[in-house]
Amino acid sequence: MGDMVIGVECRAAGAEKCYMREIVAAAEDFQVPLTWLIGVSLHDPMGNAALYRDEYLHRIPAWHEVGVLLIAENGADCPDSAGHCDLARLGKDVLKQLHVKPVCCKLTGADLAATSVKTMEDIGILVAAGNVAGCCDCSGEPYHPALSDVRKPGDARLVVLPHGGASVLTGEAMTKVRSGAPLTFGVLWDDEDPGTRLRELLEAATQSGATVRTLTPACLV
């Protein structure tokens, strides 16, 4: 009987349809909170976020969590060296325009690195999910990394969840929650039809006694 987090990657700009209404309805039927991750990229910083500001953000129940999805393009890590645009800081600034102060994020398209940790701490991020190349913790459980080496436990304030999550739509998250994992991080995109998969996963979590929580409190326990 562990915890389960459902992260919804919000990146529907340019898609034919956003399935937020269906996803929210499933969560409300099971009375569970979700973590909504608003996509921000260097290529188009405000385009996706503006769509959610204008059309969708008001549909997210107040007791759910809203964080930022940092979309690194071309395999680049969060660029935080002098003279370069900082994706993590950009994500915070963009969500500020949506009147959201994110305390959690997910990095996709690149591996988390030690240089990212300090930047994320500086902007108030408490929990960061994302792949960590060569991570020493094979369990995939959240941990405080070392500032000099994100792969190793240390004394950083930031908590890292060292993987990108298990897909809800392919059944990967279902397999993990049924295995009794201490923490299942299931992910789906809101521009893909969740069909019955999300409801089946929430039903399985209920039957197994798993507690559905948002990303930040699930990782800070």
The pTM for the full model equals: 0.93
Q: Which amino acid is at 148?
A: S
- pLDDT tens string, the chain, 221 residues long: the values are 689 999 999 999 988 899 999 999 999 999 999 999 999 998 888 999 999 999 999 999 999 999 999 998 765 544 444 323 488 999 999 999 999 999 999 999 888 888 888 899 999 999 999 998 776 555 679 999 999 899 999 999 999 999 999 999 999 999 999 999 999 999 999 999 999 999 999 999 999 999 999 999 999 96
> CATH number of 3-220: 3.10.150.10, 3.20.20.370, 3.40.50.10490, 3.40.50.2020?
3.20.20.370
Per-domain boundaries in the chain: 3-220
